[in-house]
Amino acid sequence: MNTGVQSSSSTPIGAYTMTSPASTHSTGNILHKKDLPAIALAHDVPYVATATVGDLKDFVEKVKKAATIKGPKFIQIYSTCTPGWNVQTCDTIKVAKLAQETGLYPVLEYENGKLINVKKVPKPTPKVERFLEIQGRYRHLFKNNKGKGIIKELQRQANYNIKKFDLRYE
């Protein structure tokens, strides 16, 4: 779990937190976040999924499905921390949707280690800048070349996710 106020293994690269602040010498968190669904899959968890508060129907369906499966289940839910991420409350759903739509947060579903469902990104796919610019925790990245390099890295990650999980509509 990561609330956004302190840095954790779930904090995205470049994000500002109280324990990984941005300054003239730092661009925020310098480490890539851990892939928790992959860790659950590596432990043979029978049902692994990701969801966002930007699509409550999908989220509820996954919770209901998980309840029918025997054994451990893991659902990672993407939700904002308005004070920690410096996001307006009215933008909570928008941030969650953009996380999925940019490819930064793939919405997936696995049963017994097999990928059974993915939520596709829209055409055209929004650039990660749209996702970053509405969050205060990334505002510093737009101020210098080092930050712009991190934005490019985040876009590269989004593009990688889109390709890896076949998230693009054909």
| pLDDT tens for each residue of 28-61 | 656 677 899 999 999 999 999 999 999 999 999 9
Domain boundaries along the sequence of the chain:
36-164
Give residue 44's Cα distance to chain centre: 22
Kindly tell me the burial class for residue 54, based on how many C-beta atoms sit within 10 Å of its own C-beta (0-12, 13-18, 19 or more): buried
- Per the structure block, which two tokens stand in for 142? 């737009």
- Per the structure block, which two tokens stand in for 76? 């990672």
Measure the CA–CA gap between 140 and 26, rounded to whole angstroms. 10
Beta strand 114-118 with 73-78 is unpaired
Structure confidence at residue 9 (pLDDT) = 65
With bands split at pLDDT 50, 70 and 90, how would you rate the model's confidence at 169? confident
Structure confidence at residue 84 (pLDDT) = 86
Measure the CA–CA gap between 42 and 83, rounded to whole angstroms. 33
| pLDDT tens for each residue of 82-103 | 988 899 999 999 999 999 999 9
Report pTM.
0.88
Identify the residue with better confidence: 8 or 76: 76
Give residue 127's Cα distance to chain centre: 14
Kindly tell me the burial class for residue 105, based on how many C-beta atoms sit within 10 Å of its own C-beta (0-12, 13-18, 19 or more): buried
Residue type, 28: G
